[in-house]
Structure 1
């Protein structure tokens, strides 16, 4: 079994959960966040849209797929700009969240799998209740936008 070494421990490779997300940035410098629906883990929290990377799937392909499924928008891989990542313990697993910046897409975002969508300035993200892995990403977004 392949193992992943870290400074704290060694864990099985299948314990690593890779997730991709996008900071959609509109022409006014606002970022899109979505609210997690009832019945899901961390329901009610605001997050960057995205989702899990399937086994064997490239992160950029996963993000294009997730954005179409969650928001109904079309995204070209070339428009995804790697921005930052977060690494967070998640029970028995470990989350690696890859955040991409996105300024160009086709269609208008719709909350297909979320309770609501909201466009906010990066500074306003600090006031939103967000999952622990999303919070450390805010500072870099402020600097980028």
Structure 2
């Protein structure tokens, strides 16, 4: 059992036949600064479900409302292990309202950049990015869903 439940969104440009997905470049902590990840965050006790947490987190971080689609199943009931104490559940999603923006948390933005990553060429553009190591297998699982 992981103490911390994290949630992430693989935001797609089209839910049926995606050509691109969204990646977010970390601003902090310094050890992860500049690396790429799926947007999302920690589920809070007041969130009724992980899906509620993900919608809340993306509204805060990206200033958008999402429609969640399918979960990208991880190897554990709590999703994809991130470290000994945390795991992340990830859903595909599309923007239903708002325009993607870099949100703000604490004294600075959560992310340095948002980028649409093409899924063509067997996902080579995605593989070329420097992902947070724990997110790399999730990228591969996402690409496999849409091959």
TM-score higher than 0.5 = yes
Task: Provide the rounded CA distance (Å) in 2 between the counterparts of 1:38 and 1:51.
Answer: 13
The answer (yes or no) to whether the contact 1:18–1:96 under 8 Å persists in 2 is: yes
1:39, distance to aligned residue in structure 2 (A):
4.6
Higher Rg of the two aligned structures: 1
Task: Provide the rounded CA distance (Å) in 2 between the counterparts of 1:127 and 1:83.
Answer: 21
Task: Provide the rounded CA distance (Å) in 1 between the counterparts of 2:95 and 2:70.
Answer: 11
Does the alignment pair 1:53 with 2:37?
A: no
The two structures have a TM-score, normalised by structure 1, of 0.78
Post-superposition, which runs of at least 4 consecutive aligned residues in structure 1 deviate over 2 A? 38-41
Task: Provide the rounded CA distance (Å) in 2 between the counterparts of 1:16 and 1:38.
Answer: 21
- Report the CA distance shift for 1:104/1:110 in structure 2 as closer, same or farther (over 3 A): closer
The two structures have a TM-score, normalised by structure 2, of 0.77
Aligned to 1:43: 33
Count of residue correspondences: 127
Aligned to 1:119: 116
Structure 2 residue runs without a partner (length 5+): 75-79, 104-109
Deviations 1:60-118 (A, max 9, x none): 01000001000000124xx33212231132xxx42211110013421221111311100
Provide the secondary structure at the position in 1 that maps to 2:66.
Answer: coil
Structure 1 residue runs without a partner (length 5+): 5-14
Q: CA RMSD in A?
A: 1.9
Deviations 1:37-76 (A, max 9, x none): 1555511111100000012521001000001000000124
Aligned to 2:65: 74
